[in-house]
Structure 1
Amino acid sequence: MIPQRNSFWDENAYAPWTPQWMGKELVFCLVERRLPKRLLVRKKIRPGWYYALKIKNALSSKRKVGFGPVVEGEYNIGVRGSRIDPIVDCINRKSENYSADIFFDFGEMARFDLIVIVKEFHPGVYPLLEQLKVQGKRFVYDIVDNPFCTDPRSVSYHDHPEFLRMMDGVISSSPVQSEDVRPINPNVVLIEHPIINFECSTYPQKATVDILWQGYMANVEAMFRLHTILEKVRQESGRDVRMIYHSNCPTRTDGMIHYIKWKIRDWQKILASADIGIVIKPPDNEVQRRKPSNKVLSYMAAGLPVVCTPTEADKLIMEHGKTGFFAYTDEEWYRYLKGLIEDPELRKAMGMRGREYVWERFTIEKITAKYLNLFDHV
């Protein structure tokens, strides 16, 4: 087979910020009418917050911790909003021993004593890691939901055990991730996501019963099997049931199905205005079964009862029959949804129990304390 030559347009292979790299990025910008990704990310940083971090870390005598690489803008609830930013802020408020900052590029890691590589990595960074480890730097890998990565160079931790062996500690987000890592690196600890949504349902009486799914449309297909079940419950109960997909999609309505475009300014309000939170994570999907519990956590933090086909991570924060229901078969989904749709008091009781449970255990302060405890032992 004749090898294919790489097209000029495939990628920018020059070293970042060299004249050649900047020239090629400029050509890309002119043709695609976009900013280079790193500049776009930097643009979406609150300057006051970002430079306060820099000054605070430069002046601090505490042990310096860096979280990154930051490859997302600020205005989302991905790894930036749910993991990096709140933990960094809390460390700087609470810790007597550590000062935290963020980094965009792996080349910035040398200025830290302890580096938390969050989700994204690629083999090209291995020589730098080895060099910094010789200098006494310590490394922790935070899996989050890898391999759902933003940087196209990033790879799956599952396929690169050599990377896990280089780490002084590993943070998993689910029991399945822990099982993956422990035979390779026994210094693995499960740390849940912190709560980042603060608006709560007031359980108002209203004409509709709103069933909510929040997430990326790439993950929505598993939910479609519920449409027939919800239509059946709608007809039998006489309730005005609405299935709401709050996602990266245009706003539109198709019968009882409502699609609402996700926006950072109102995601908490829409979440808290729903009546039931649902999600299906297919247990036979090897990627989905490793996902963390942040979706279920956000539903519970908003005071919603939850019906889900759970991951092992979801089972750690949710109690079947008390704060919601685990549903696997269509019959179970029908029974549990029908019971909640027809009984507003059950919805309220389950929602309040779930909210109380997660707020006792998964606040930003409590999750940050787990990070700090790990840092003390690596």
Structure 2
Amino acid sequence: MAKVLLLGYDLDQPSFRHRMRSLEPALAAEGWQVRCERFPSGRYGLRTWERRALLRWADVVVLHQIKLSALEARLFGAFSRRRVFDFDDAIYVRKPRRLGEAADDSRWRRSKFIATCRFVDEVAAGNAVLAEAARPGARAVTILPTSIEVARYTPTQAPADAAPVIAWIGSPENLVYLQMIRPALAAVAARHAGLRLRVICSAFPDWPEVRVERVLWSEAGEAGALAGAHIGIMPLSDDQWARGKCAFKLLQYMAAALPCVASPIGANTEAVIDGVTGYHAADLRQWEDRLQALIGSAELRARFGAAGLAHVETHYAMAAYRRRYLAVLTRLAATVAAPGTRRG
């Protein structure tokens, strides 16, 4: 019976839940033993030494978003058999502190990223941008887009003739992207009495010119909150950090059959097919025009929403993600049992 250890800094973080926890049912069904364990973000070297028995237990260890220095990687390798580096953010740079600033591309951060890519047997990247960053040092790279359990979501039930509801879902630190398009949202709100911006989060903007509907995020309630909206939005800035994002909120919108408007940055350009499942909007004028077009046509919203649902079911379904990830882990575990193939 093969054993896999899924390591992350925070086991409750959305990224870990969507990419690691989501694998547990499929792995268990195939007879794998699975453990999800926290790995400290500090105490370099010592954190690996203290977990040596845990590392020896597993046939395959998956490091989710965890970067190791070259020195710690050698220690980690002494206690582990096969290793996967999984990430769905541009963790080789630091997120900009303010809009308009460049991402912090420090030599230390980049060197740990490269060292980890070289050290593992396989890199599992969330999108093509991240895969390209990993390729110079990696033995093997597989693109495994963060995917979604479509059945958890209900196609939008918002009345077509009701006052428009524009949805944004995300974490507090990403509200800065919503702030970017505040003027466009204000302009659209001025033309449509009753328009609401439904923010599904744990923090909320206070904009007098836009009616913000505050919906406290919960895993149990997010699908229902989206089912009552008309349009989903995902603005982004154009920097190294944003280009590496995996567009998960767009998948959520499409699973709820919502037409989307998104900045044409990174994975957004693959998730939203411009003019088919939604619109790309590169500047404030386009944001205003695209939102206005969708608000003004229930038929267009329905057509884009249906196309988006079909797109996410075809390309981002959780069942396919699990199947492909399981194939990677199975292939690596098989080499552990083969004579003379154990490394580290």
Match status 1:64 vs 2:3: yes
Q: Output one character per residue of 1:261-292: Cα deviation in whole Å (capped at 9) or x when no partner.
A: 22233112112211111111212x21111111
Match status 1:141 vs 2:85: yes
Q: Partner of 1:192 in structure 2?
A: 145
State the Cα distance separating 1:361 from its structure 2 match.
2.7
Out of 264, 280, 286, the position equivalent to 2:219 is 264
SS of 2:3's equivalent in the other structure is strand
SS of 2:85's equivalent in the other structure is strand
Q: Distance in 2 between matches of 1:253 and 1:198?
A: 29
Q: Distance in 1 between matches of 2:17 and 2:161?
A: 32
Q: Partner of 1:48 in structure 2?
A: none
Match status 1:100 vs 2:34: yes
Q: Output one character per residue of 1:91-131: Cα deviation in whole Å (capped at 9) or x when no partner.
A: 222x36x4433223451222110111111344374243220
Structure 1 residue runs of 5 or longer lacking an equivalent are 1-61, 150-154
State the Cα distance separating 1:186 from its structure 2 match.
4.3
Q: Distance in 2 between matches of 1:70 and 1:87?
A: 17
Match status 1:110 vs 2:56: yes
Match status 1:126 vs 2:73: yes
Contact 1:178 1:188 in 2 (8 A): yes
Are the structure 2 counterparts of residues 250 and 211 from structure 1 closer, same or farther at C-alpha, using a change threshold of 3 Å? closer
Q: How does 1:1-378 map to 2 (within 5 A)?
A: 62-69=1-8, 71-73=10-12, 78-93=14-29, 95=30, 98-105=32-39, 107=51, 108-123=54-69, 125-133=72-80, 137-145=81-89, 147=91, 156=109, 159-196=112-149, 197-205=152-160, 207-236=162-191, 238-249=192-203, 254=208, 255-283=210-238, 285-378=239-332
SS of 1:220's equivalent in the other structure is helix
Q: Distance in 1 between matches of 2:7 and 2:277?
A: 34
Structure 2 residue runs of 5 or longer lacking an equivalent are 40-47, 96-107, 333-344
Q: Distance in 2 between matches of 1:112 and 1:376?
A: 13
Percent of aligned pairs with the same amino acid = 21
Contact 1:146 1:157 in 2 (8 A): no
Q: Structure 2-normalised TM-score?
A: 0.79
State the Cα distance separating 1:205 from its structure 2 match.
3.7
CA RMSD of aligned residues (A): 2.5
State the Cα distance separating 1:360 from its structure 2 match.
2.4
Are the structure 2 counterparts of residues 162 and 230 from structure 1 closer, same or farther at C-alpha, using a change threshold of 3 Å? closer
AA aligned to 1:192 is: P
Contact 2:8 2:16 in 1 (8 A): no
Q: Structure 1-normalised TM-score?
A: 0.73
Bigger RCO (CA 8 Å, 6+ sep): 2
Which of 98-107 and 303-312 deviates more?
98-107
AA aligned to 1:65 is: V
Q: Distance in 2 between matches of 1:287 and 1:158?
A: 17
Are the structure 2 counterparts of residues 158 and 318 from structure 1 closer, same or farther at C-alpha, using a change threshold of 3 Å? farther
Are the structure 2 counterparts of residues 286 and 307 from structure 1 closer, same or farther at C-alpha, using a change threshold of 3 Å? same
Equivalent pairs counted in the alignment come to 302
Q: Output one character per residue of 1:148-200: Cα deviation in whole Å (capped at 9) or x when no partner.
A: 89xxxxx8566531121110000111211111111111411110112144233
Q: Partner of 2:341 in structure 1?
A: none
SS of 1:312's equivalent in the other structure is coil
